[in-house]
């Protein structure tokens, strides 16, 4: 049962055409019943923040912003197992950021996917 973890940059490729968008579109369009899509709740904040900045910077019209956010929120709530950002994830993030020299958001994503791997033992072979 494959697990696909999407960080913010990967998910944004679904809603903005850029290098790698075709690969992400294929994953979404050909999602098999046994495949699991996972992400961190942090992703919602980051995607909506990015879209809001694009709206304020006039890179997105209000209509495009509304369509993007509605599509993203629908996908995110229906297609994804969403990892919470709680104190244990932050604590794990502190550990991985000092070991791996990651930015805070990247450390949260890494800590989240590590937790998902521990939570779903049958998926460990895919991590």
For residues 27 and 35, what is the distance between their CA atoms, to the nearest angstrom?
A: 10
- If phi over 0 gives left and psi between -120 and 50 gives alpha, with beta otherwise, what is residue 73? alpha
- pLDDT tens string, the chain, 127 residues long: the values are 788 999 999 999 999 889 999 999 999 999 998 888 999 999 999 999 999 999 999 999 999 999 999 999 999 999 998 988 999 999 999 998 888 888 999 999 999 988 887 665 544 444 3
Q: What is the pTM of this model?
A: 0.83
Report yes or no: 89 and 83 within 8 Å, Cβ to Cβ.
yes
Domains, in order of start, for the chain: 3-126 (3.40.50.1010)
| Nearest by Cα to 122 from 11, 5, 34, 61 | 34
């Amino acid at each position: 049962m494959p697990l696909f973890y999407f960080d913010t940059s990967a998910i944004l490729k679904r809603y903005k055409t850029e290098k790698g968008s075709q690969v992400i579109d294929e994953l979404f369009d050909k999602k098999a019943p046994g495949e699991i899509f996972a992400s961190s709740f942090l992703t919602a904040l980051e995607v909506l923040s990015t879209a809001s900045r694009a709206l304020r910077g006039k890179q997105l019209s209000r209509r495009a912003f509304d369509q993007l956010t509605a599509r993203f929120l629908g996908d995110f709530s229906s297609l994804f197992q969403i990892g919470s950002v709680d104190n244990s994830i932050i604590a794990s993030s502190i550990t991985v950021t000092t070991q791996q020299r990651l930015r805070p958001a990247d450390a949260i994503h890494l800590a989240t996917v590590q937790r998902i791997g521990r939570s779903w033992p049958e998926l460990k072979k895919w991590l």
